[in-house]
Amino acid sequence: MHRRTFLASAAATGAVASLNTSFAMAAIDNPLLAPWTGPHGGVPAFDKVTVDAFKPALEAAMAENLREIDVIAANPAAPTFDNTIAALEGAGRSLDDVQTYYGVWTGTMSTPELRTVEKEMGPKLAAFRDKITQNEALFKRIEAVYASPAKAKLTPEQQRVTWIHYTNFVRAGAKLDAPSKVRVAAINGELSSLYTRFSQNLLADESTFIALSADDMAGLPDSLKAAAAAGAEQRKLAGQFIIVNTRSSVDPFLTYSPQRAAREKVWRAFVNRGDNGDAHDNNAIISQILKLRVERAKLLGYPTHAHWRLENAMAKTPDRAMALMEAVWTPAIAQVATDVAAMQAIIDAEKGGFPLQPWDYRYYAEKVRKAKYDLDMNEVKPYMQLEKLREGMFWSAGQLYGFEFKPAPGLPVYHPDVRVWEVTRAGQPVGLWYFDPFAREGKRSGAWMNAYRGQERFQKPITTIVSNNSNFIKTAPGEPVLISWDDANTLFHEFGHAIHGLNSDVTYPTVAGTAVARDYVEFPSQLNEHWLSTPQVLGRFAVHYKTGAPIPQALVDKIKLASTFNQGFDTTEYLASALIDMKLHLAGDVAIDPDAFEREQLAKLNMPPQIVMRHRTPQFGHVFSSDGYSAGYYSYLWADTLTADAAEAFQEAPGGFYDKAVAKRLHDDIMSKGNSIDPADQFRAFRGRDVKIGALMRDRGFPVPPGA
């Protein structure tokens, strides 16, 4: 999301001023339309937001943006980079600001009133975007700049920006005939409504909880009992215990609860989100989405939605993405079979009398880890304090990129849980980092990064504003928040997205920060996970919440020794979702029953029955709450191939993961470039060659293909 100041040719200035009178009048009464003011180049006025301001603000900002577009399209001067492409880079600033507020509220502060606004505004926003991409006069100007011999005289970044604008318009249907454009716009509107319904259904199911008795909680670590009790108390259910129906609550329970019946109860509630045959069931919605997506793809000239989506990704084609997934799938399920046998042996030795089921997997995997590596991850958790790990993230980013983080109290926030830090390098401002760590009603599940404002040097230097959002369970006042090793990895992962944005050093907002190909954007974030396990971070910041003692080296050694443990489960759970996503979008123009398709395709893949997809189809928000990761969930594996290879560059260096020369190359060739350079060229510049799969296979403990 880019916050941009409108730039038009001098001849158009008067026209813009007169056209924007109505917008200026609207801004007087609507705080969401007011320019950002205050320190750091202006900050979002989160304290001024009201739900009833969203609809008029969005409508006024869209109207203003369309007026700006009309001025660019009607410019009598011959098309040039400055009066067309650069002008587009400057348009839509007010709408970007409003959508920043809107994105924060719909993602973290949802209410019934806001959900009503979402249902109405989703189709309107889709129609607005189509009005721009289907503006023939505007596209002719973009096409003229793209085809002009003068393009060769532009800077490489300007050429890249021109290519992106041209490609985006073509892919949106700018070259279609009039009837096809009308149909594409109608499809986009229908899809927008369906995405909203899907997301709201999922949020409704994730807002539920599983009530448990004291007996159900028996044998759990004290920290998990306390969190379950605190969650109940927050909902005015004092004396009870609840597991909220989100991954951050469910996974720890399934890992540590010895109560098999309670595990099954919690597991079934979680895996059936969006799939309960009730008012929040998503199956019919998914079927409609798939039909509309393939119709749109064919209108745009592609055989399937997957071919359309991957055209401008690193993978380029579904075949290349499938080849990578299939290469990893076979060794992954082979490893699962080995691991399941080890778990079943423990069940049989305990005279359990049952075959391992999906709700048993995490619990018995921990027993195998304990038996094989003498490692109980519950022993690690007392050293995983959220606040200390945040300090560790700051420290490692400082070592690699020279960042310094200083609390910035007093800036407006949208919830009391949110805190803000000022980020500098060598005393110069870099940006702001917002942190929203805790789960609450109305906040979508998971963890993510947002850019409230992108970095740029277009008219003047503008620093970025980024945020990280998590769903940790809040403890009682004064008690530290202890998180799992997996959650700590996720924390570093999402912070990797944030520092990708903070490192951005480009001129134009379209190519800033994390605005890169979907199968490349996860690379910097996945790479940042590696710094959690470095001795420097663990020794300084993984300290016991009671004694302050650093995590024992013997425990660190066990974590390292067991680093490839459970890779069969992790890889299979993820890849099953990625493969079903791709297969759904390669199926073509056929009616699909999502539940039946999922079952049949997993059977063909020989999916281990003890594991379910990480995201079952009816709850697959990555894929069905927007176009987002549709036909693109493979991106995490693609990016992890880059990540493992890049990590070996540090491992091979004299200074390891803190080697200054490698860190500088990482910054100069990748982290600072955004989308100003083709991602394959970025990686090639950093590594000195194209990526190889060998590092990925070594990292997961799988057999390495010859020559990889």
Residue found under tokens 């880079």? 89
pLDDT of amino acid 28: 67
The answer, yes or no, to whether residue 19 has pLDDT greater than 70, is no
574 located within any domain: yes
Q: How confident is the model over 134-149, as pLDDT tens digits?
A: 999 999 999 999 999 9
Are 316 and 237 part of one and the same domain?
Answer: no
The answer, yes or no, to whether residue 635 has pLDDT greater than 60, is yes
360 located within any domain: yes
The answer, yes or no, to whether residue 298 has pLDDT greater than 60, is yes
Which parts of 55-147 are beta strand (E)?
Answer: none
What is the Cα–Cα distance from 472 to 491, expressed in whole angstroms?
Answer: 10
* Core vs surface per residue 221-245: b (16+ CB within 10 A) or e: bebbebbbbbbbebeeeeebbbbbb
Are 312 and 355 part of one and the same domain?
Answer: yes
The residues that are catalytic are 494
552 located within any domain: yes
The neighbour count for residue 17, using CB atoms within 10 Å, is: 11
533-544: average pLDDT: 96
Are 112 and 217 part of one and the same domain?
Answer: no
Q: Which of 633, 662, 686 is the last residue of a domain?
A: 633
Give the domain CATH number at 618: 1.10.1370.10
Q: Which of 633, 668, 686 is the last residue of a domain?
A: 633
In one-letter notation, the amino acid at residue 496 is G
Q: Coil, helix or strand for 471?
A: strand
Q: How confident is the model over 189-202, as pLDDT tens digits?
A: 999 999 999 999 99
Give the domain CATH number at 44: 1.10.1370.40
Domain that holds residue 593: 283-375+566-633
326 located within any domain: yes
Number of domains in the chain: 4
Q: Cα torsion for 327, 328, 333, 336, to the nearest 10°?
A: 150
Are 362 and 391 part of one and the same domain?
Answer: no
Q: Which of 594, 618, 633 is the last residue of a domain?
A: 633
Q: How confident is the model over 154-183, as pLDDT tens digits?
A: 999 999 999 999 999 999 999 999 999 999
Are 456 and 604 part of one and the same domain?
Answer: no
485 located within any domain: yes
Are 18 and 108 part of one and the same domain?
Answer: yes
Q: Are strands 428-438 and 464-472 parallel, antiparallel or unpaired?
A: parallel
Are 88 and 63 part of one and the same domain?
Answer: yes
Q: Which of 387, 407, 639, 670 lies closest to 529, judged by CA?
A: 639
Are 153 and 297 part of one and the same domain?
Answer: no
Are 102 and 128 part of one and the same domain?
Answer: yes
Are 421 and 393 part of one and the same domain?
Answer: yes
What is the Cα–Cα distance from 462 to 453, expressed in whole angstroms?
Answer: 9
190 located within any domain: no
The answer, yes or no, to whether residue 708 has pLDDT greater than 50, is yes
4 located within any domain: no
Are 583 and 615 part of one and the same domain?
Answer: yes
606, exposed or middle or buried, with CB in 10 Å at 0-12, 13-18, 19+?
exposed
Phi, psi of 545 (to 5 degrees): -70, -20
pLDDT of amino acid 462: 97
3-state SS of 552-602 is CHHHHHHHHHCCCCCHHHHHHHHHHHHHHHHHHHHCCCCCCCHHHHHHHHH
658-673: average pLDDT: 98
Are 425 and 556 part of one and the same domain?
Answer: yes
105-118: average pLDDT: 96
Question: Cβ(509)–Cβ(458) under 8 Å?
Answer: yes
pLDDT confidence of 2, banded at 50, 70, 90? very low
pLDDT confidence of 29, banded at 50, 70, 90? confident
427-435: average pLDDT: 98
Global pTM value: 0.91
pLDDT of amino acid 27: 64
pLDDT-above-90 percentage for the chain? 91
For residue 601, what are the contacts with CB-CB under 8 A and spacing of at least 6? 579, 580, 583
